[in-house]
Amino acid sequence: MMKRVLLLLAALMLMTLSSGCAIYKTSVDERDVKTVATDKYITAEIKARFLEDKLVSILDIGANVYQGHAYLYGEYESDAQRARAISIAQDVDGVTNVTYYLLPKVKDDGCGTTDNLMIRGELEKELISDDRIWSTNVDVAVIQCNVLLMGRVGNQREIDLSIKYAKEIEGVRRVRSYLRVLGQ
């Protein structure tokens, strides 16, 4: 009984902390609250459709949406899977455009999940440490040791610094930035 109570308390604390993080992230987002909510809804809809689809794997392909523009990223096993993921995103109400960074899965690539996680962690640490960057506005994905930067930021300097930090990390093959200054 006591173990169950402790687990419940831990779950409640986690939910409280994560909702606090979500509120903070929304408060510093360059987009207005309505746009953030709409983008999150569209993102959730794309991911839900990926989850329901027999061909697309939610574990392989991710999605983020900014101002109605959907960004797909990840790895695909077949051209049909890639095409299906793009088609699903295009068919979601509210999506105005789809940009994708999808790489074919490679066996024995030399860059595994651990490498991707290490790169992402190092980059996020650098972004958080620099007070010239609102790091919560920069979403990071790492696919086969290639860094993908997405989001809406306040100025070009944030974009330049984010790219600089990504390029300086050992093991990074390429950096692709889809960061945009809000209003441009």
Write out the DSSP string of 10-75.
HHHHHHHHHHHHHHHHHHH-SS-HHHHHHHHHHHHHHHHHHHH-SS--TTTEEEEEETTEEEEEEE
Write down the pLDDT at residue 45: 96
**pLDDT digit string (tens) for 56-108?**
998 999 999 999 999 999 999 999 999 999 999 999 999 999 999 999 999 88
The rounded mean pLDDT for the chain is: 88
Is residue 118 classed exposed, middle or buried when 0-12, 13-18 and 19+ CB atoms within 10 A define those classes? middle
Write down the pLDDT at residue 148: 98
Write down the pLDDT at residue 11: 57
Does residue 35 register a pLDDT over 90?
Answer: no
Q: Which fold has domain 113-181?
A: Histidine-containing Protein; Chain: A; (3.30.1340)
Cross-sheet strand order for the sheet of 97-104:
61-66, 69-76, 97-104
Residues in the chain: 184
Q: Could you tell me where in the chain the CATH 3.30.1340.30 domains are found?
A: 30-104
Q: What is the four-CA torsion angle of 168, 102, 177, 64, rounded to 10 degrees?
A: -120
Looking at residue 156, the DSSP 8-state letter turns out to be H
72, β-bridge pairs: 63, 100
Grade residue 22 by pLDDT with cuts at 50, 70 and 90: very low
Q: What is the mean pLDDT of residues 14-24?
A: 53
**pLDDT digit string (tens) for 151-173?**
999 999 999 999 999 999 999 99
Write down the pTM of the prediction. Answer: 0.81
Q: How far apart are CA 154 and CA 178, in angstroms?
A: 14
Q: Which fold has domain 30-104?
A: Histidine-containing Protein; Chain: A; (3.30.1340)
